[in-house]
Structure 1
Amino acid sequence: MPIKIPDQLPAIDILKNENIFIMHESRASTQEIRPLKVLILNLMPKKIETETHFLRLLSNSPLQIDIELLRIDNRPSRNTPEEHLNMFYRQFELVQDRNFDGLIITGAPLGLVEFEDVVYWKHLETIIRWAKTHVTSTMYVCWAAQAGLNLLYGLKKQTLKEKLSGVYTHSIANSFHPLLRGFDDSFLAPHSRYANFPVDFIQDNTDLDILVTSDEAGVYLAASPDKRHVFVTGHPEYDATTLHNEYIRDLGEGLEPPIPVRYYPNDNPDNPPSASWRSHGHLLFSNWLNYCVYQQTPYDLEHFSEDKFTKDD
């Protein structure tokens, strides 16, 4: 089944060229199918690029997905045209009275900023608290994972001295968890963050099921026992060239970034990189949609039971 996204969204042409089945809003309105309602809170500066990354992964499912895009506030963007934001993004106030099957909160380039100094921190806290009673399952990606751990579990910010950047080997810690159906025992995934997610720190201070770890990168994937909160500390959505673009950007800003680990052939930035994580990225999102969202959510979102999701909070 296709993903349903707004007409004229730039990602449409890119995904069509990749033979991904896209359904416009106008066509979807004629079908008598209950699609999954998935909200994406896009915190990344280059929103059009990030939209395409996540829509590509959400498309790899037999389920029909109805996507809505959410912006954190109405501040002007330096990296995304205002007309794009006005046309395709909603303010939280317009969706706060509705229920959703899934919510994805993207990463943000805020690794060295203290939470209390993030200009939209209070607004993000409101959205994460709201999701506990209005969303069946929420996925927190990279910086959002650290923010979610702070707001939901009270975990303090853990910051590395040097940016963790590159492609790392990961091992499965719980091979029977539904999120890991079909995963190899070890696999590759990219990271690009200053946040630190030590295994012992997560294990000792939360009730999360730790599902995937890396000797170098720490916890990669963890989920609450009821699968309503899923934390992904890396970037399975990245294109082959995303780490390269970030590396060049950081060089241009005089940050002296380390060369991304095991990313460029022969560790030479002049050599074009290739994606070695794509299959597991698609599988992770398919499993999330199936086991954490579709099999948990009510058929009629108007009958969303707050008691079901608040009794253990």
Structure 2
Amino acid sequence: MAEQTVLTIILNYRTPELTLQACEAALREMAGLKGEIVVVDNASGDGSFEALYQAAQEKGWTQGGRLRVLQSGWNGGFGAGMNFGMRAGLSSGAAPDYYYLLNSDAWPEPGAIEVLRDFLQTNPTAGLVGSHIKGPDGITHTTAFRFPSIAGEFEGAARTGAISQMLKNSIVPLPQPSGPTRVDWTAGASLMIKQEVIEATGGFDEKFFLYFEETDLSRRALAHGWTTHYQPDSHVVHIGSASTGMKTWARTPQYWFDSRLRYLSKSHGAFYTALSTLGLIAAGTLWRLRRLAQRKPQADPDWFLRDLIIHALITPFRGPAFQVPPAPVSILEDPK
């Protein structure tokens, strides 16, 4: 049987220096595999595309079709950028057997990509598999999850031991797996997907700008019979939130609320979504009362609860928060 192909897709948005480091690590790990790397610039508008294109040429990465730098033409978020890279396919015009999605601030360690490929090759019903992610400090990041639910959101917002014990089977972050484990969804920072999954689902829903898009894809893949897995033998170092700034959010951006609302309404309908939001508000209020009584530190961005309530109230009366262009932008390769 012919060796199966991997297309590694690295999405850049105003992080060219980090993206070049990700390319270097990915090129090293792809050296023994059949496939290519595509770097997609999501219309950074800061010279990133030109800098990446020039650096790739000067380093000789583009020789032999090993790596291409493409311009998507618009900033449609994570899912849209990755869809663009998947549509680009291999330089021959063919679709690969596997798509490997890698964040621009993530660096696969030795064997990381091959381990994911081998896992999908040897598990016929597995459609998506993610890596063990750790920070530059060596601390493991939580990337194995259950699907969000009313109970799961309530538990996460309440932050109360007794509630967590009662709802332990609904807690969204799973206990850290010690071996390959089936999960509901895993993070897209280092994620490999079978081509058949993309063919069946159509790829990411581009109405998610950021957040919940991997959750939604895994849920739709499961509906087609494809499972999602966590493979801790694949190790990737990830800074985290380099493009989004999530770690330093002063306020939660509207697109996070939009994505949460879209995921819940798509998956469960309007009534379930309303109940989940009411539960989140109730649990958040409970937590804030505990904070006042016990002098606990702030855990959410400023005004999170107020912003959640306002978003829930005004969303039915406004148009779509994020418009998808009517047709994909053509691939641009040469910035000159």
TM-score, length basis structure 2: 0.29
The structure with the greater share of residues assigned to helix is: 2
The structure with the greater share of residues assigned to strand is: 1
- For the pair shown, which has the larger CA radius of gyration, 1 or 2? 2
